[in-house]
A and B are shown apart, each in its own frame.
Chain A
C-alpha cells in the first residue's frame, strides 16, 4: 500500500465519494458497501465518543440531533490524537456557530462545563491544600498569599443558568421549569476521586479567577468586592477550603510594592 493509496483510503472515509480504486472482494470489483463498513465505523465511533463526553448536551437536544451535530463536527474537526479523552474540546465553539442550534444560546456553556468535568476527571491526583496550613498563617501575612491551582480546577461563567441546566440534564437534579433565568458561575475540581461542581456567586467567580491567575488573596478579594458589592469573603474562603481548588500557598513578598499589579 503506497502512502498515496492510504491517503485516498483515509480521505474517502469522511465523505460520500465512491470507494477508492484498488479495493477488491471475492464477488465484486466495486465493494462500495464493504468500504462503507469502515466509513460507518469511523463516524459512528467518533460520534459515540462525543456523546459519552457530552451526555447533558445530548439530553438537551435529543440523540438524533446530537448525532447529526456531532457528525458535522467530526467531519470538520477529526481527532488529531489516538487519545480521545480530550477529543471535542472545540465542540462548544463549533456548536455556538452551528446554525441549526442557534436558538439554544446556553448550550455551548453547558458543554464547556462538561469539558471542565472531563478534564478534572482525568487530571493529575494531587492532595488539596490542608486548611490547617492556612489557619497557621500569621494574620498579618494573609493578604500576600498566592495560591497554586489544583490541576483539576476550572472556573466557568455564563450569562445563562449553565449550572442549573447541566444539573437537570446530568441526573443531578429533577427537570423543572427554570423561573430564575440569570447568569451562573461554577468552580469545578476533583480534590480526591469525585468531580465536584460548586456554584459560585458572580463575585466569587471574579475572586477565584484572580486567584488562579496568580493574584494575592488581598488583590483577589478587592477585585471581587469592587466589581460585586455583595461579595462575601468568608463564604468564598469556605468554598476555597472545601472545594480543594488549590494545592499549596506561597507568600508573595512583592505585595507591598505599590507597582505590583
Chain B
C-alpha cells in the first residue's frame, strides 16, 4: 500500500483563479492540495491546470464528499471516481474527513458530525478499510470542526481517532484550526486536546481562518469558515504541535472570500518559517 508522502513543507489550497500567478515564477510552497470532487469532470481547463501543476509540485487530493461517517454503505461509483483521479495524478497523499455528507441519495455538501460510539467506530473503520483497498494507498483522516455534541457519545474524539488508526493503518490529517474551533465550541482546552491526540500518526496539518458567532445562550461559537488569515491562537497551537513532532506537511486552506495569490502565499511563507525553525531545532 502506497504510504502518504507529502514533503515536510508548507503548501497551499489550489484555486483556479491563482493559476496564472502560480505559474509566473517558482513558488515557495512544497505542494498544492485540491478538492477531488471539483476535478471529476472528463476534461477541460481544470485538468489542464492540474496536469501543469503536477509537473512542478507535489499534489494532495482532498476529498470532501465521500461521507465516510455515513451509516449507509459508501458510494461505490464515487470511490471509483476517486480511484480514477488518483491513478491520473499519482498524488503524494489522499485525505478525507471524519464526517458524513450523504444520506439516502441526497448529498448535503457539508461535513456533518458523528456521535462517537462503538457502533460508529466499527462503521468508520470498515469504510476506511474499503477506501484504502480500492485506492491501493494509505489515506489520511481529518479531525472535524464541530458545533454540537451527541448525547449518545461514549468515546473521546482523540481516542476514537487513535482506534481508527490502530485498526486500519490510516494516517491522520490534523486540522489545527478545527481543534481550536471545536475546543472553543465545547468549552475545552485545545492544548489538552493536542496532548491527547495520536500525534505519531499525523502526516499532514491544516491551517486556516475561522469566524466568530455566539450560541443559544450567548457563549462563543466559532465557525470553520476558511475566509480569513490564520489567527494567532491557531498559530500558537501549531507551534505546540511542531515542538512535539517536528516538521510535517502543512497546508494553508482558504476557501471563502479567496484573496489574491500573494496573500495566500504570505500565509504559506509564515508556516514555512515555523517549519524551518522546527527543522533547525531537530538538527540541533
Contacts and interface: CB of A to CB of B under 8 A. Distances in A.
Nearest to A35: B148
A140 interface: no
Interface string B126-167: 000000000000000000000111111100000000000000
A24 B149 contact: yes
Given A1-B117, A7-B103, A122-B44, A24 B110 contact: no
Interface in B36-56: 37-38, 40-48
Sorting the interface of chain A by its residue count into under 10, 10 to 19, 20 to 34 or 35 or more gives: 35 or more
A121 B45 CA distance: 7
A34 interface: yes
Interface stretch (A76-84, A89-97, A228-236, A251-259): A76-84
A38 B105 contact: no
A249 interface: no
A3 B215 contact: no
Contacts of B70: 6
Interface in A27-85: 27-28, 30-35, 37-38, 41-42, 45-46, 49, 78-85
B101 A30 contact: no
A151 interface: yes
Given A22-B152, A123-B42, A78 B106 contact: yes
Contacts of A79: 106-107, 109
A2 interface: yes
B43 A33 contact: no
Interface of B: 37-38, 40-48, 64-67, 70-72, 75, 78, 81, 100-110, 112-115, 117, 119-120, 147-153, 185-187, 213-217, 219, 221, 223
Interface of A: 1-3, 6-7, 9-11, 13, 22-28, 30-35, 37-38, 41-42, 45-46, 49, 78-85, 120-125, 151, 190, 193
7 contacts: A1-B115, A79-B107, A79-B109, A82-B67, A120-B44, A121-B41, A151-B42
Closest 10 CB pairs of A and B: A82-B65, A122-B41, A125-B43, A10-B103, A124-B42, A34-B148, A41-B110, A24-B149, A3-B71, A79-B107
